[in-house]
Structure 1
Amino acid sequence: MANILVVDDELGIRELLSEILNDEGHSVDLAENATQARALRANNDYDLVLLDIWMPDTDGVTLLKEWAMNGALTMPVLMMSGHATIDTAVEATRIGAFSFLEKPITLQKLLKAVEQGLARGAATAAAATQTIATAVPAPMVPPPPSGSTATATTAGTDVVLAPEPAPGHQGFDLDQPLREARDQFEKAYFEFHLAREGGSMTRVAEKTGLERTHLYRKLRQLGVDLGRSKRH
């Protein structure tokens, strides 16, 4: 069911159109002039308007232009007239009218025009909704800080996620001065290579690019237990 506004100064035409459209299941409002049409449009949203061109107070083309200028022309408008010129019909279409019906209007032409107008209005509304959905991005949710505990909601239940390690975190305590963190890393680094090379200082020196004398000095400075790394 659609909401339709019929604007025509002839009582017989208003009643006939109202009866036909009501029989088709639509809700119909009637206006006999532009003044009534303005008031109804200001307080209602319509899916379609049937608008007579020649009316005593303000003609239909002028009213159509008003709606177009103030943003009220959001629905398809079918212009109606029994003696309009081609130029008038072209002007109405240029302003924004969907189609033009010449009086007397046959039942078949009326129903076909109304069906096409409602289909156009539905397609335009769907396109506008899609455009808005595409133009407006989903809100960005920043990831939790490193080391923090994130909470997700699934099926109404809060699920606590494990803290996410900071980039490059390999079990070292990064919440300490740089020098201590660097010494901790270097100690782990040399212990790893000593264990892999079976305690061979020559091979570790080659792997790490240090001279043996410098390597010994570095290991003692870091407190590396050389005895545990020697071959048995």
Structure 2
Amino acid sequence: MANILVVDDELGIRDLLSEILNDEGHSVDLAENATQARSARAGNSYDLVLLDIWMPDTDGVSLLKEWATAGVLTMPVIMMSGHATIDTAVEATRIGAFSFLEKPITLQKLLKAVEQGLARNAAHQAAPVAAAQAPAAAPADPTFAQMPAVATAMAGVDAGPHAHQGFDLDRPLREARDGFEKAYFEFHLAREGGSMTRVAEKTGLERTHLYRKLRQLGVDLGRGKRN
């Protein structure tokens, strides 16, 4: 059983998500705005948060940024919206959102995203123990721990056929991150033989969001199949 916080200004959506997640055996807290969400996060530890983007007091992306800045973004956050733009979804991902769900949310997509988010949280919680037992500690950022081949390439070490991507650490953060994300997706596309379904499962992104992300980064979608 996991502790989950659902933040949405629509009563119907809060009730629906609460009912579904309770049926799955999870403990669910509800917040109808950012103020209530802040209070809930301050007083509780959550394994996962479902966060609506458009809310009347403070939007979800701003709240996500607050948590990241304050160092309390210790759990996966799944953003939800029926009107978000691509730029909004990308910005939320860069701040630290785990994934993005478009409304109306289907039961299958919800349960899959929650399952993946909780699995990520469990891996993150286990990371300190594994790092303490290992002779050489892995990077603190769990994103790097889940992408060893790309992380190795960034360090300038030969990691096989995917080590060709170089990274200029003197570039602005946004540019450097775009380069890293492009290498990350190219790596997974090559490993999965160009299968968008398997890449979506591996990266925890919805297929629609994944396609948009790859186009934005300029990733050659036929590259994995050629390799």
Q: Which amino acid aligns with 2:25?
A: G
- Quick one: distance in 2 between partners of 1:65 and 1:125? 22
Task: State the match for 2:131 in structure 1.
Answer: 131
Task: State the match for 1:104 in structure 2.
Answer: 104
- Quick one: distance in 1 between partners of 2:88 and 2:126? 30
CA deviation profile, 1:46-76 (whole Å, cap 9, x unmatched)? 0000000000000000000000011110000
Shift of 1:128: 2.3
Task: State the match for 1:57 in structure 2.
Answer: 57
Shift of 1:131: 2.3
Q: Which amino acid aligns with 1:102?
A: E
- Quick one: distance in 2 between partners of 1:16 and 1:37? 18
Give the alignment's Cα RMSD to 1 decimal: 1.4
% identical equivalent positions: 84
Shift of 1:108: 0.3
Larger Rg: 1
- Quick one: distance in 2 between partners of 1:7 and 1:132? 35
Q: Which amino acid aligns with 1:47?
A: D
Secondary structure, aligned partner of 1:83: coil
Task: State the match for 2:91 in structure 1.
Answer: 91
- Quick one: distance in 2 between partners of 1:67 and 1:128? 21
Number of equivalenced pairs? 136
- Quick one: distance in 2 between partners of 1:132 and 1:80? 36
Task: State the match for 1:48 in structure 2.
Answer: 48
- Quick one: distance in 2 between partners of 1:79 and 1:105? 11
Q: Which amino acid aligns with 2:27?
A: S
- Quick one: distance in 2 between partners of 1:103 and 1:84? 10
Secondary structure, aligned partner of 1:121: helix
Secondary structure, aligned partner of 1:57: coil
- Quick one: distance in 2 between partners of 1:132 and 1:6? 33
Task: State the match for 1:205 in structure 2.
Answer: none
- Quick one: distance in 2 between partners of 1:128 and 1:33? 33
Shift of 1:132: 4.2
CA deviation profile, 1:119-157 (whole Å, cap 9, x unmatched)? 01101111123224558xxxxxxxxxxxxxxxxxxxxxx
Shift of 1:18: 0.1
User: Normalised by the size of structure 2, how large is the TM-score?
Assistant: 0.58
- Quick one: distance in 2 between partners of 1:14 and 1:132? 40
1:81 corresponds to 2:81: yes
- Quick one: distance in 2 between partners of 1:26 and 1:133? 31
Task: State the match for 2:120 in structure 1.
Answer: 120
- Quick one: distance in 2 between partners of 1:46 and 1:134? 27
- Quick one: distance in 1 between partners of 2:13 and 2:123? 29
Secondary structure, aligned partner of 2:54: coil
Runs (4+) of structure 1 exceeding 3 A deviation are 132-135
Q: Which amino acid aligns with 1:95?
A: I
Task: State the match for 2:9 in structure 1.
Answer: 9
- Quick one: distance in 1 between partners of 2:121 and 2:101? 18
Shift of 1:93: 0.3
Judged with a 3 Å threshold, the aligned counterparts in structure 2 of structure 1 residues 104 and 128 are, in CA distance, closer, same or farther, namely same
Alignment of 1:1-232 (within 5 A): 1-132=1-132
- Quick one: distance in 1 between partners of 2:69 and 2:129? 22
Greater RCO, CA 8 A, separation 6+: 2
- Quick one: distance in 1 between partners of 2:100 and 2:128? 25
